[in-house]
A and B are shown apart, each in its own frame.
Chain A
Amino acid sequence: MAIESLTKPEATFEAAAARVAPPAKRHEGHHGPDGEVRSRSAEVFTVSGRGESIGFAMETVLGTDERKRVPDTDLNPWRKICALRIRGPGGTGAIGTGWFIGPRTVVTAGHCVFSQTFFGGWADAVEVVPGLNRLQNRSLVRPFGSTVSRRMSVLDRWAKSDDREPDFDIGCIHLDEPLGEKTGWFGFASLPPDELVAFMVNISGYPSDLGGGDEQHFAKNRILHVSERRVFYDVDTHGGQSGAPVWIHEEEGRPPLVVAVHAYGIGATPTALGIVANSAPRIVPEIYDIFEGWLDRDTQPTTAVG
């Protein structure tokens, strides 16, 4: 069954039909205005290629909490990751994580913008804050400012699932202001399962338990299992990190390549797999095409947005 993008009705664009794309497609990212300058913490924290498990990680912190705070969120790749301040139509508030794939396009988990469980449908508005950080004096820093959007999309299968299909839990926030030009954006890829297996993955986002959603925290480990539409890993995460990028470096020195969108703790891992793992819906070929469709739409004028 083909899946499609479903756009919040107020938006000016219509959903486009998903196209079947060939496997192993890669969409290049962008470093941002200051070129390839990468943070020192990224050199220390992130992992590349395939490898052995770093240790058993739990929603979820699995064993010893391996998460590390990111100190320099104004640098690559951390600045491409955004704290999300979500407001539901009834005034419900929530936090999540998103990441740029283009100047005006932020990918996140579907439930961060559309959830029957948390919002009774579409979120009303989302504030996007790239590189949000808290300094030692406790003050909050927004190195690239922030912007509020009411334009969002999700996969139609997610919207129709009543929050019951984790495989399709992917969404997007469309920005009027091109904040991604200040931060750069991630590349993303649709890789076949046999290429993904055993890759080391990196995940960074804004959890509620460490730093109260105001600090970015990073963790890494090895992929444990790849299903048709999801990837499973023992990487420590927590509430608030929904929507965070799950990225690999195919080789040392290669740019980050996002392969999945973090969304679930251990409760969403089928017991039949026999593993304790968190998970993310994968960027499969049809999702890849939908991402490109979202990017195309965000290059269009947005003057008539309601």
Chain B
Amino acid sequence: MDGADAPVPGAYVVVVEASVPLPEIAIVADAQGGFAINLPDGTFRLRAEHDGRSGEVEVAVPATDAVRVQLG
């Protein structure tokens, strides 16, 4: 989401910290600004990036809700 809480298609999402080994691939948000990663159980920090802006969120898996990352 951007500052106006609008979805950001094409934003990159990377896992920057994890309690299990996860590789350095960058996922691309779809046309609705959504993304899906089938994370194993553990704790993770996800970072979203777009046009020089970024935001991070911590996730504990299994998670019950969808995750939203706010771009600063």
Which residues does A use to contact B, with CB under 8 Å?
A: 59-60, 86, 90-96, 109, 111-112, 115-118, 120, 163-164, 166, 169, 207-209, 212-213, 237-242, 262-265, 267-268, 278
Task: Given A60-B24, A92-B30, A239-B25, output 19 extra A-B contacts at Cβ < 8 Å.
Answer: A59-B24, A92-B35, A92-B36, A93-B28, A94-B26, A95-B28, A115-B25, A117-B37, A118-B27, A118-B37, A118-B38, A164-B20, A164-B40, A238-B24, A239-B12, A240-B24, A267-B18, A267-B19, A268-B21
CA gap between A242 and B16 in the complex, in Å: 13
Give A269's nearest chain B residue, CB to CB.
B21
Per-position 1/0 for B16-55, Cβ under 8 A of A = 1111111111111010000111111000000101110010
B25-A109 in contact (CB<8A): yes
Give B21's nearest chain A residue, CB to CB.
A268
CA gap between A120 and B27 in the complex, in Å: 13
Q: How big is the B interface, by class? A: 20 to 34
A242-B27 in contact (CB<8A): no
**Max chain A CB contacts within 10 Å: which of B15, B19, B24, B40?**
B24
Which residues does B use to contact A, with CB under 8 Å?
A: 12, 14-28, 30, 35-40, 47, 49-51, 54
Q: Which residues of A contact B47 (CB under 8 A)?
A: 239
B25-A242 in contact (CB<8A): yes
Q: Per a CB cutoff under 8 Å, which of A116, A166, A212, A213 touches B23?
A: A166
What's the minimum C-beta distance from B15 to chain A, rounded to whole angstroms? 7
Q: Which residues of A contact B36 (CB under 8 A)?
A: 90, 92
Q: Which residues of B contact A59 (CB under 8 A)?
A: 14-16, 24
What's the minimum C-beta distance from A121 to chain B, rounded to whole angstroms? 11
B14-A117 in contact (CB<8A): no
CA gap between A93 and B31 in the complex, in Å: 11
B26-A239 in contact (CB<8A): yes
CA gap between A255 and B25 in the complex, in Å: 28
Give B16's nearest chain A residue, CB to CB.
A59
**Given A59-B14, A59-B16, A265-B16, also A111-B26 (CB < 8 A):** no
Q: Which residues of B contact A240 (CB under 8 A)?
A: 12, 14, 24-26
B23-A208 in contact (CB<8A): no
CA gap between A239 and B11 in the complex, in Å: 13
A239-B24 in contact (CB<8A): yes
Q: Which residues of A contact B51 (CB under 8 A)?
A: 212
Give 26 CB contacts A-B under 8 Å: A59-B14, A92-B30, A94-B25, A94-B27, A94-B28, A109-B23, A109-B25, A111-B25, A115-B25, A117-B22, A118-B27, A120-B38, A166-B23, A208-B26, A212-B12, A212-B49, A238-B26, A239-B12, A239-B14, A239-B15, A241-B24, A242-B24, A263-B23, A263-B24, A264-B23, A267-B21
CA gap between A95 and B24 in the complex, in Å: 10
CA gap between A86 and B50 in the complex, in Å: 18
What's the minimum C-beta distance from B24 to chain A, rounded to whole angstroms? 4
Give B30's nearest chain A residue, CB to CB.
A91
CA gap between A264 and B18 in the complex, in Å: 11
Q: Which residues of A contact B15 (CB under 8 A)?
A: 59, 239
What's the minimum C-beta distance from B25 to chain A, rounded to whole angstroms? 5
What's the minimum C-beta distance from B57 to chain A, rounded to whole angstroms? 15
Q: Which residues of B contact A241 (CB under 8 A)?
A: 24
